[in-house]
Structure 1
Amino acid sequence: MKKIKYLLAISALFFVTACDKADSVIFEDKSTAVTVSKEGWTVTASSFSADVAPTGTPEKLIDNDSKTFWHTDYSVVTPYPHWVLIDMKKEVKMISVGLTNRYAATPNAVGMKKFKIEGSSDGATFTSLGEFNFIISNDLQNFPVSSAKAYRYLKVTALEPQRVGTNHTFLAEIDVFGVK
């Protein structure tokens, strides 16, 4: 009996790791969650492309328009990691963070694969809220954060690209879902 349980556990682990799916979730019960307003938020980034107006700058991540996007600097090839830092101006107890990919107009527009989410009360000392995988999709992807604490700052750091050898990344929107 122990041997069967062991084989089932190994099989389940293999299946989960072999699927290489994103770690996003869909919340069916929204009775305890609310979309946090982005009004007054500010955002900075490790780099950005200011020369591709009207897109490219970090502010596009919080403009509620999935047709605009932040993009790392086109003119300077900087390897991963890349980060964005949002000051939500007040502490928020987060349930999940939603990321919307830049609309992939070409097969080359693939962006990040692995990333981490961190929270901070002071913008200097960060607590890990999880590492996740991002899939190439134009849909909002929600990532649950393991936080019993409220944070003012949210940092998303792209750790690895979808395609080996690429150095740039991008996102259209970042949303935060918090406790009602």
Structure 2
Amino acid sequence: MKKITYMILAFALLAISACDENDAVLFKDESTAITADRKAWTITASSFSTSEGTNGSPQRLLDGDRLTYWHTDYSVVTPYPHWVLLDMKVATKMISVGVTNRYAATPNAVGMKKFKLEASNDGTAFTSLGEFNFAISNDLQNFPVPSATAYRYLKLTALETQRVGTNHTFLSEIDVFAVK
């Protein structure tokens, strides 16, 4: 009877893990992944603000400081979608992409609500890695992606706003967790 119970439990866990869940998950298994080194990476964006002082630039997404941020240009009304494109310089087998919202004492309730991740090896033809919901939080949010193929480029496209009537978005950091 115990063997049957364990087999049913194992099957249930396998079935649950096979579900296609596209919401943020807490990624804790550091035994199978490393944080990719961002030092040589470059980044471009669909737009960015030049009136945010030292903030606004997409390079802020790679500086390791959660108090700095990229902000889309809001001097002109540019509706969604907004995107950032990372060139990781080498093909990387990603396991998860970590995204951190612009920090605020009360987590920002504007910015993106839904986004997609895409990957490419030439920066032109992209493969979908999934669409995800972004929570209102100051914490790093991790989004698992298929790891069978290594990709050089990663594109995050903000698809939908948290608050109807806002046209901009912002983020603090983007991290990639890769196969060891």
User: 1:50: Cα distance to partner?
Assistant: 1.6
Give the stretch that moved more between structures: 44-53 or 24-33.
Answer: 24-33
User: 1:107: Cα distance to partner?
Assistant: 7.3
AA at the equivalent of 1:47: S
Q: Which runs of 4+ in 1 moved over 6 A?
A: none
Aligned residue in 2 for 1:104: 104
1:90-146 CA distance string (max 9 Å, x none):
000000000000013567652100000000000000000000000110000000012
1:33-54 CA distance string (max 9 Å, x none):
0000101100000000022121
* Percent sequence identity over aligned pairs: 73
Which 5+ residue runs of structure 1 have no aligned equivalent?
A: 1-21
Aligned residues of 2:117 and 2:154 also touching (Cα < 8 A):
yes
Measure, in 1, the Cα distance between the counterparts of 2:156 and 2:64.
17
Aligned residue in 2 for 1:32: 32
Q: Structure 2-normalised TM-score?
A: 0.85
User: 1:29: Cα distance to partner?
Assistant: 2.1
1:29-79 CA distance string (max 9 Å, x none):
211100001011000000000221210000000011100000000201100
Measure, in 2, the Cα distance between the counterparts of 1:147 and 1:100.
21
AA at the equivalent of 1:171: L
Aligned residues of 1:104 and 1:110 also touching (Cα < 8 A):
no
SS of 1:61 mapped into structure 2? helix
Measure, in 2, the Cα distance between the counterparts of 1:108 and 1:157.
18
Give the stretch that moved more between structures: 165-174 or 107-116.
Answer: 107-116
SS of 2:116 mapped into structure 1? strand
Measure, in 2, the Cα distance between the counterparts of 1:29 and 1:108.
28
Aligned residue in 2 for 1:10: none
Measure, in 1, the Cα distance between the counterparts of 2:68 and 2:162.
21
Q: How many residues align?
A: 160
Tell whether 2:50 aligns with 1:45: no
AA at the equivalent of 2:165: G
User: 1:147: Cα distance to partner?
Assistant: 3.6
Which 5+ residue runs of structure 2 have no aligned equivalent?
A: 1-21
AA at the equivalent of 2:56: G
**Alignment RMSD:** 1.6
